[in-house]
Amino acid sequence: MSLIAHLARMEAVAAGRAQPLATVRHRRLAERPLVLVPLTTAGEAGAPLGALVGTDPEEPRLLVVPQPRDRELRFAFLAELAEEVLPYVDGFADAVEPVERKDSATGEKVRVELCLDAPQLIVPSRAGIEYVRLLGRSTRFRRTAEQDPDTPYPAPPRVPLLGRWLTHYGERARVPGSSLLLAATDLLNRHWATGQSSLEDQHLGALLAWIDPADGERGDRAAHRAELARDERGQLLCPPAGPATDPAFDNQLLAPAIEAYDRARQAVGAAEDGETADAALAGLHRAEREVRRLVVSQLKPTWDATWRALGLLRALPEGARVEDRWTRDRWSFTAHRDRIAAGEPPQPRRDDAVTAAAKLAAREQAQGQLDAQEALDDPLVLAGRRLSGEAFAAEVVEVVRAWTESKRPAPRPLLTVRTEDRPHLDPGAKVYRSLDGKPQSAEFVGREEDGSLVLRLLDRMGRSKEPAEGTVPEKGERIAWTLFEHDARVGPRLPDPEETPWTHGGPPRHADTAELPDAVTPEDLL
Amino acid sequence: MTVYDPAVLDPAAAAAKATAEILESTLRGTARGVVVDSPPGAGKSTLVVRAALELAAAGRPLMVVAQTNAQVDDLVLRLAEKEPDLEVGRLHSSDSDPYDRALDALEQVRKSAKAGDLAGLPVVVSTAAKWAHVKNVEPWAHAIVDEAYQMRSDALLAVAGLFERALFVGDPGQLDPFSVVGADQWAGLSYDPSASAVSTLLAHNPELPQHRLPVSWRLPASAAPLVSDAFYPYTPFRSGTGPGDRRLAFGVPSDGSAPDRVLDEAAESGWGLLELPARHTPRTDPEAVHAVALVVRRLLDRGGAAVSERSDAPVPLTADRIAVGTAHRDQAAAVRAALAALGVPGVTVDTANRLQGREYDVTVVLHPLSGRPDATAFHLETGRLCVLASRHRHACVVVCRAGVTDLLDEHPSTEPVQLGVTVKFPDGWEANHAVLSHLAEHRVRWTP
């Protein structure tokens, strides 16, 4: 954590209220995001218990699995989830703009489609992102009856497709600065500092209590209550944002309700005549309603909190360079849409050596770009970089005209700038400023006796001997310089996967055979 | 595999035997790769130069991959010094000022930003980052990959297509490569792109011959056993010099202050611990930074003279033979500022990452855990402490707040265990304890 973030946290403790870490919003919030609040079953990896999903805060769709260990019910849940998610995703697939782009293989310009907008998925917490990934992993290899008539437990038709989209979103969420799949807690933590630990910051209720406490209440008290306060039956007033549920809820309320549901189902199976069957069926519906009531009691507060978080974030104006990053998200969405349309197999279980290296390189590049763009978009973020010696704001006190000593002299004016900041500059170090949104670089020449810095401007002054109008700062101008580059460098082209060298195990085997789901084991069956 | 053989008593003979075996496997072996582990100061650069010259003499087109431009320039200069007739190519980036200007004075060194211009030269040297951009060329018969443990697996992936066979040389005890973004999703895969190049290479080619250089010529007899035990417990090495071969003395006697006493202790025993009172501090702990600067200042003021196997007469200890090592860049900046305030120019102050591969007579180290309330994986990393504790030829003074042992006990390593990842021994926790318990015998308490 940076020094300025520490400072903000201490101020938050003193003030009893979260302090801003940003003056603009650094992530895209779509006009109509799809919020998904999932719950999982304790002790059963990847067994959903229920979810609220939808694009309208007033009308979420409730999905509940009354017996999470029942494979049929689980599939029904996933099919219903697909019914919500896929039409939303498909709604963005057809509105496109034509774009010219360089083909990476041939280097020639080709016209391609780029989706005008992309679907955005919001989950309450970081664990929710992990859960999206898990759902994707557990469903994308499933076979439907249409794909494979012999499969013993065919998945509902659209479930594998849902898995592929969730996998894509889960993977994209690992790219720094991307906004396709976001967690409300991450969003809030990016923009505000609370007076609690970063572990406690993962609690959506406590986080909102710090950022937006009720009238007159101190954030720390409100957060404490959100975390710990329980009603007379021992249930948390603010249930956790999931996907895990509170053990007290599991033991005292949920487990008995699921048992009652199981008994009701047995009674339906055991009913011998019409009358008892009707009664048993009514009992089953009652039992199911009870489970649904309980699940919604845990989901609804988180659903509301997530929308409240989005409301707080919408109050911040969007950073100038967020659009640029969102365009990359649109490319990512468009590319996956095209892969699905082309009938490509689902994402492999593991990346091969080349794909893994390419992803890592892309993410490092995205991280560098994100760090730079956030600082350029937001004076408060820049202040943090200035405090750590990675940037400085300075006033130009003198401009001396100078040129290179070549046959065709190019301008290399010397600037003397005065700053109160303490940048970590070595002689010859490069510094950058933003000139019309593009970086202009300068070289650090040395320090004057009075502590002011001498910089030599290096580029973006045009081709002629005299620098172009407006490209050289004037005396008295105040400019923010950064020691970091504004655009991350593009890494080298990696070999094709078929040309993976011997040091990395050679080309991957079975590159073209589609992966199958894991074989069914006795543990899979109830 | 070379084994540590105490029967070979003479360090020079042991080192020569290991070198001969390495050259034999490289020049006449059949394996596509040879891996050489080298502890700090064991003559890795000398080995690289020698292997390069012998491969060139055997008529095998050779590419050399180093990790930084400074390393590349240093290698080219060494090659030129050893074999002035050998034509060497220096492949460089197209940035301004891409290589050391000293290379311009050498006629036999051809410099270019295009690999095509250097085709046909017996040896071409460049950084891994630059090699990765070289495409569509005839592969080289042989490569030498220097500092291979600091090279990331994805960097090797980008260059491995350029050579048929390779010699990988590096120090497994130094800092592991890192990534600024999370790479957990690939942990446990043999080709995890964020792992070191050597771990990927050996995971896929376990049969490759592995050698070890057994003698550290840099570390004095007082330091080699500690560094070997703490950081290389299963691959021990020893110092090339014996006790008493290296001596450090001061012209000006001690004034009784804590910095002077810790310098006397370090001159006598090779190690000194200047312990400040326990306290939680910001990273740039002003008191500790001041103490570091004061120790350096006294070291110069007292007219230090070093006696070593390199010369018969004592050599004055000058600022360029002293380095200060820190964990973070802001700490280094703070020490630089403190030294400037005390009027001390010319002393190298840098982070562990940047001190890798460098050598000084005396080092002053700000302990990575000094004054911290917690011990994170970054601060516990074995390689960081190993680099800081193994840069010196004579003595090392560590400046630290009291209470680090308790801090360690309160913070056992909590990194999750990843399936398929080889657990590295020793872990930073254990290595830190080993070093601290040794330093405790050379403790001087700070008295303002």
**Is B8 an interface residue toward A (CB < 8 Å)?**
no
pLDDT band, residue B208 (cuts 50/70/90): very high
Tell me what percent of the residues of chain B surpass a pLDDT of 70. Answer: 98
pLDDT digits (tens, 9 = 90+) for A21-75: 999 999 999 999 999 999 999 988 889 999 999 999 999 999 999 999 988 899 9
Domains of chain A, start order = 3-242+299-376 (no CATH), 391-482 (2.40.10)
pLDDT digits (tens, 9 = 90+) for A163-176: 999 999 999 999 99
Question: 351-410 in B: which are within 8 Å (CB) of A?
Answer: none
Determine, for residues B192 and A356 on separate chains, whether the beta-carbon distance falls below 8 Å: yes
pTM for this prediction: 0.91
Number of helices (H), then strands (E), in chain A: 13, 15
C-alpha dihedral (B252, B256, B260, B262), degrees to nearest 10: 140
Q: Give the pLDDT of residue B224.
A: 94
Nearest CA in chain B to A387: B330
**Is A186 an interface residue toward B (CB < 8 Å)?**
no
**Is A351 an interface residue toward B (CB < 8 Å)?**
yes
Nearest CA in chain A to B198: A503
Determine, for residues A491 and B161 on separate chains, whether the beta-carbon distance falls below 8 Å: no
Q: Give the pLDDT of residue B312.
A: 81
pLDDT band, residue B1 (cuts 50/70/90): very low
Query: Which among A299, A314, A313, A305 has a CA at the least distance from the CA of A208?
Result: A305
pLDDT band, residue A443 (cuts 50/70/90): very high
DSSP states along B353-420: HHHTT--EEEEEEE-TTTT-SS--HHHH-HHHHHHHTTSEEEEEEEEEETTHHHHHHH----PPPPTT
In this predicted structure, the answer to whether residue A526 has a pLDDT above a threshold of 60 is no
pLDDT digits (tens, 9 = 90+) for B290-307: 999 999 999 999 999 999
Determine the distance in angstroms separating the CA of B33 from the nearest CA of chain A, rounded to an integer. Answer: 9
**Is A247 an interface residue toward B (CB < 8 Å)?**
no
Instruction: Report long-range pairs for A223-228 (Cβ below 8 Å, ≥24 apart).
Output: A223/A194, A223/A196, A227/A200, A227/A203
Q: Give the pLDDT of residue A513.
A: 53
Determine the distance in angstroms separating the CA of B418 from the nearest CA of chain A, rounded to an integer. Answer: 15
Residues facing residue A208 across a β-bridge: none
pLDDT digits (tens, 9 = 90+) for B332-373: 999 999 999 999 999 999 999 989 888 999 999 999 999 998
Mean pLDDT of A109-125: 94
Q: Which residues contact B244 (CB under 8 A, 6 or more apart)?
A: B221
Residues facing residue A236 across a β-bridge: A230
**Is B431 an interface residue toward A (CB < 8 Å)?**
no
**Is B133 an interface residue toward A (CB < 8 Å)?**
yes
Taking one residue from A and the other from B, the number of pairs with CB-CB distance under 8 angstroms is 95
Tell me what percent of the residues of chain A surpass a pLDDT of 70. Answer: 96
Higher model confidence: residue A148 or residue A361?
A361
Cα–Cα–Cα angle for A360, A366, A370, nearest 5°? Answer: 145
Of A270-274, B416-420, B422-426, where does mean pLDDT reach its minimum?
Answer: B422-426
pLDDT digits (tens, 9 = 90+) for A256-304: 999 999 999 999 988 888 888 999 999 999 999 999 999 999 999 999 9
pLDDT digits (tens, 9 = 90+) for A314-359: 999 999 999 999 999 999 999 999 999 998 999 998 899 999 999 9
Answer yes or no: are the C-beta atoms of B211 and B36 closer than 8 Å. Answer: yes
Of A209-223, B26-40, B325-339, B421-435, where does mean pLDDT reach its minimum?
Answer: B421-435
Where do we find the tokens 């003074």?
B397
Q: If 0-12 CB within 10 Å is exposed, 13-18 middle and 19+ buried, where does residue B150 land?
A: buried
Nearest CA in chain A to B154: A357
Mean pLDDT of A420-433: 89
Answer yes or no: are the C-beta atoms of B339 and B294 closer than 8 Å. Answer: no
In this predicted structure, the answer to whether residue A512 has a pLDDT above a threshold of 60 is no
Give the three-class secondary structure for B206. coil
pLDDT band, residue A1 (cuts 50/70/90): confident
Mean pLDDT of A422-427: 85
Higher model confidence: residue B418 or residue A181?
A181
* Pairing mode, strands B271-276 and B443-445: parallel
**Is B187 an interface residue toward A (CB < 8 Å)?**
no
**Is B183 an interface residue toward A (CB < 8 Å)?**
yes
Q: Give the pLDDT of residue B169.
A: 96
In this predicted structure, the answer to whether residue B2 has a pLDDT above a threshold of 60 is no
pLDDT band, residue B3 (cuts 50/70/90): very low
Q: Which residues contact B127 (CB under 8 A, 6 or more apart)?
A: B65, B66, B67, B68, B69, B71, B72, B93
What one-letter code names the amino acid at B354?
R
Q: Structure tokens of B179?
A: 């990534």
**Is A490 an interface residue toward B (CB < 8 Å)?**
no
**Cis ω on the peptide bond leading into residue A149 (within 30° of 0)?**
no
Determine, for residues A357 and B97 on separate chains, whether the beta-carbon distance falls below 8 Å: no
In this predicted structure, the answer to whether residue B325 has a pLDDT above a threshold of 60 is yes
Minimum-distance CB partner of B204 among A176, A354, A505: A505
Task: Give contacts of B158 with chain A, Cβ < 8 Å.
Answer: 357, 492, 494-495
* Inter-helix orientation angle B428-439/B224-231, to 10°: 150
Query: Which among B237, B445, B262 has a CA at the least distance from the CA of B362?
Result: B262
pLDDT band, residue B10 (cuts 50/70/90): confident
Higher model confidence: residue B423 or residue A118?
A118
Cα–Cα–Cα angle for B375, B381, B384, nearest 5°? Answer: 115
Q: Give the pLDDT of residue A214.
A: 81
Determine the distance in angstroms separating the CA of B158 from the nearest CA of chain A, rounded to an integer. Answer: 5
Testing the interface with B: which of A371, A490, A504, A509 to mutate, by most B Cβ within 10 A?
Answer: A504
Among left, alpha and beta (phi > 0; psi -120 to 50; other), residue B420 is left
Task: Give contacts of B156 with chain A, Cβ < 8 Å.
Answer: 503-504
Mean pLDDT of A385-411: 91
pLDDT band, residue A405 (cuts 50/70/90): confident
Query: Which among A244, A243, A226, A126 has a CA at the least distance from the CA of A184?
Result: A126
Residues facing residue B90 across a β-bridge: B111, B125
Q: Which residues contact B276 (CB under 8 A, 6 or more apart)?
A: B287, B288, B291, B370, B399, B400, B401, B402, B446
Where do we find the tokens 């202009």?
A440
What one-letter code names the amino acid at B273?
L
Where do we find the tokens 């082309």?
A342
**Is B188 an interface residue toward A (CB < 8 Å)?**
no
Q: Distances from the Cα of B440 to the Cαs of A438, B225, B271, B404, B445, in angstroms? A: 55, 16, 10, 11, 11
pLDDT digits (tens, 9 = 90+) for B209-262: 999 999 999 999 999 999 999 999 888 999 999 888 899 999 999 999 999 999
Of A160-164, B235-239, B396-400, where does mean pLDDT reach its minimum?
Answer: B235-239
Answer yes or no: are the C-beta atoms of A185 and A201 closer than 8 Å. Answer: yes
Answer yes or no: are the C-beta atoms of A164 and A137 closer than 8 Å. Answer: no
Q: Give the pLDDT of residue A434.
A: 92
Alpha-carbon gap, residue B383 to B381, rounded angstroms = 6
Nearest CA in chain A to B180: A364
Q: Give the pLDDT of residue B289.
A: 96
Higher model confidence: residue A490 or residue A168?
A168
Give the count of beta carbons closer than 10 Å to the beta carbon of residue A338: 14
Alpha-carbon gap, residue A37 to A50, rounded angstroms = 8
Nearest CA in chain B to A490: B133
